[in-house]
Structure 1
Amino acid sequence: MFKTSILVLLSFLNLANSKNWIRSGYVYAGNEFPVSGIDSRLFTHLVCAFAYINSSNSEIYIEPSDETYMSTFTEIVTSKNPSAKTLLSIWAGKPHSSMFFDMTNSSMFFDMINSYSTFFGMINQSSHRTSFIRSAMIAARRHGFMGLDLSYVFPSTSANKANMRSFFDEWREAINSEPRKYDTPRLILTMGAMYSPVMDSIIYPVNDIKRNFDWVHVRSFDYHVPSKDRFTGAHAALYDPSSNLNTDYGINEWIRRGLPANKLLIGLPYHGYAWTLVNSNDYAIGAPAKGKALTADGSVRYSYIKWYLNNYGVKPVFNSTYVVNYCKIGSFWIGFDDVEAIKTKVSYAKEKGLLGYNVFQIPNDDADWILSTTG
């Protein structure tokens, strides 16, 4: 009788966890991939990027070329999956600098870390914060989104963190009060952040994030990229015995500094990187490399990687130390997450008690949605 009760309780807990498990992913409006082509049944939440901040009045705006894409996004997504939730992502960086999102272009991404005058200029003034918050919520409602996402903010000074505290509190209060005024469901509020709350000059205000955001999309990838590193690297290493540049370290730091595990979504990249080897006979992780290969910045969509593997008859290697797949094609080395890596990371996230995972980005999967069905 006791054993039966325990089994029933465990089954109930597993069912509860599966219901709360979030399978989220980004979709870039500038991508030519149609929303109708995404199997939204594989996800609980889809994040449409990007809206931008007008530097003259701090209000949110959507590019005219993205209007149709965004205004029909929720309708198309929910036609296949009525229970799916959609979020509008707001780019907190320099206007029109999000071209990296079309692929990854991480070298551009890291160059932009210090280009956030528009965002931090906005949060420095109360009236500008009010304009941002009001216009963001109006944009979400007008286009049918069920939540808002802030991507990506890099607080690097004490003044930045102090102003962010006021901004986050005011945004949360506005979101909480809206349903009482207009009898509408409460908007979801999320943030995209780097893999660790502390890195170089960046220090996130963890307690303020904990208090005001529903969860954080952790950018747990692009640790090593061929535009910067002259050696092959596991760009989304779950573990790294010789470095803190790994997902396990970052997740543990977020939790250690006060953000609950159930407010974290691990990032799953649907892209890899290609390096040109110095010596084609030396192709282990960490092998000397000349730099990028195959594309302008070395980033390669998973669907393209699969094409290369099939076309050249190459079987990738799975490295369980770093949790990464890699392959060598001639003098090129490609590191990426295949099915084995995705499975391991999803299991890790569940064991750590995380809220779920977030894909960067969904259309990079192959035609059979092999990675998305794995998660």
Structure 2
Amino acid sequence: MINQSSYRKSFIESSIYTARIYGFDGLDLSVGPSISINLTNLGTLFDEWRVAIASDSKKSGKSQLLLVMSARYSPAQHPVTYPIGIMKRTLDWIHLIAYDYHVPAEFNFTGAHAALYGPSNWANTDEWIMDWLRGGLSASKLVLGLPFHGYAWRLVNPNEKAIGAPSSGPYVTRDGSMGYKSIKSFIKGYGYGAAAVYNSTYVMNLFVFGSAWINFDDVESIKAKISYAKENNLSGYSVFQLSNDDNWILSRAGRLSVKISIFHFILLILMKHWTRDVSIAFE
């Protein structure tokens, strides 16, 4: 689509039309980890899109639609390869999909799927964010993605439990993915005393019992990541997805971490309850 001007024009016009018809606040383009995408033309798309959004606003008398990009981590696609200059002037912010780095359907050893920190040979959010900043992008353009889900691996040897332990594949579900609520229920099923542990080195929570090895973000991880986002002057954070929460446990942890008033927090949830993810900006 992005390689031909006529396709870009059609896409831009239809996206703006759809956003206006359904009363959306903006548009979010998800850019997957592909080495085949023409990043020069991606910059052209953003330029043309921003011009069209401004024109639409002038004609309709409405506020300009937000223009956002969601980016996934990819070792083959370093942040500096993106058209940073164009992105800085055309995008309102960039959603960092800071999870699903390491999943049981793709690797035969356990790993942290949403590590904030880690060795240089492990995908981790801090290293990725620093790459964006070194590439020239402002921290105020970045929104940190927080996962309300985790992954379950089946250990080859129950006695080998460390990160990087051999795995025979996903556990519990077909691809190993589990929502936070399902993970907490699964742990409770093992009876009194069964509990996950917090790993501050990677900023992750881990439950290991028998052949089950489950990595996810609990309250400690969510709070630590929000603190990190604030300390590094990021624009805010987003969550995926609210329906995975367990009685608002993680959502409350996020609210308390940024000291949002309970009124505005409830209002935000009511406004967004039909969506799969929510973004919160720091004041």
**TM-score of the superposed pair, with normalisation by structure 2:** 0.84
C-alpha distance in structure 2 between counterparts of 1:309 and 1:178, whole Å: 51
Kindly state the Cα deviation for residue 201 of structure 1 after the two structures are TM-superposed. 4.9
- Is the counterpart of residue 263 in structure 1 residue 134 in structure 2? no
List aligned pairs for 1:5-20, cutoff 5 A: none
Contact preservation (8 Å) 1:227, 1:298: yes
Q: Residue type matched to 1:177 in 2?
A: S
Counterpart pick for 1:150 among 29, 40, 43: 29
Deviations 1:207-234 (A, max 9, x none): 2222211001111111211112222111
- Is the counterpart of residue 305 in structure 1 residue 196 in structure 2? no
List aligned pairs for 1:158-177, cutoff 5 A: 160-177=38-55
Match of 2:224 in 1: 344
Report the secondary structure of 1:189's partner residue.
Answer: strand
Match of 1:67 in 2: none
Q: Residue type matched to 2:185 in 1?
A: W
Note closer, same or farther for the CA distance 1:282–1:300 as it changes in structure 2 (3 Å cut). same
List aligned pairs for 1:86-165, cutoff 5 A: 122-154=1-33, 156=35, 160-165=38-43
Contact preservation (8 Å) 1:155, 1:161: no
C-alpha distance in structure 2 between counterparts of 1:244 and 1:234, whole Å: 9
- Is the counterpart of residue 193 in structure 1 residue 71 in structure 2? yes
Counterpart pick for 2:156 among 269, 272, 278: 278
Q: Unaligned stretches of 5+ in structure 2?
A: 255-283
Note closer, same or farther for the CA distance 1:347–1:257 as it changes in structure 2 (3 Å cut). same
Deviations 1:54-112 (A, max 9, x none): xxxxxxxxxxxxxxxxxxxxxxxxxxxxxxxxxxxxxxxxxxxxxxxxxxxxxxxxxxx
C-alpha distance in structure 1 between counterparts of 2:248 and 2:222, whole Å: 13
Report the secondary structure of 1:127's partner residue.
Answer: helix
Kindly state the Cα deviation for residue 365 of structure 1 after the two structures are TM-superposed. 1.1
**TM-score of the superposed pair, with normalisation by structure 1:** 0.64
Q: Residue type matched to 1:343 in 2?
A: K
Match of 2:253 in 1: 374
Q: Residue type matched to 1:227 in 2?
A: A
Note closer, same or farther for the CA distance 1:214–1:365 as it changes in structure 2 (3 Å cut). same
Q: Unaligned stretches of 5+ in structure 1?
A: 1-121
C-alpha distance in structure 1 between counterparts of 2:231 and 2:21, whole Å: 39
Contact preservation (8 Å) 2:229, 2:237: yes
Match of 1:319 in 2: 199
Contact preservation (8 Å) 1:349, 1:357: yes
Report the secondary structure of 1:286's partner residue.
Answer: coil
Q: Residue type matched to 1:286 in 2?
A: G
Q: Residue type matched to 1:298 in 2?
A: G
Note closer, same or farther for the CA distance 1:201–1:237 as it changes in structure 2 (3 Å cut). closer
Note closer, same or farther for the CA distance 1:346–1:274 as it changes in structure 2 (3 Å cut). same
Report the secondary structure of 1:210's partner residue.
Answer: helix
Kindly state the Cα deviation for residue 246 of structure 1 after the two structures are TM-superposed. 0.3
Note closer, same or farther for the CA distance 1:308–1:266 as it changes in structure 2 (3 Å cut). same
Matched-pair identity in %: 54
Report the secondary structure of 2:189's partner residue.
Answer: helix
Contact preservation (8 Å) 1:237, 1:247: yes
C-alpha distance in structure 2 between counterparts of 1:201 and 1:172, whole Å: 24
Q: Residue type matched to 2:244 in 1?
A: N
Deviations 1:295-352 (A, max 9, x none): 1111111110010122213210100000000011321110000000000000000000
Note closer, same or farther for the CA distance 1:169–1:155 as it changes in structure 2 (3 Å cut). farther
C-alpha distance in structure 1 between counterparts of 2:103 and 2:157, whole Å: 18
Q: Residue type matched to 2:108 in 1?
A: R
Contact preservation (8 Å) 1:325, 1:338: yes
Contact preservation (8 Å) 1:275, 1:332: yes
Q: Residue type matched to 1:325 in 2?
A: N
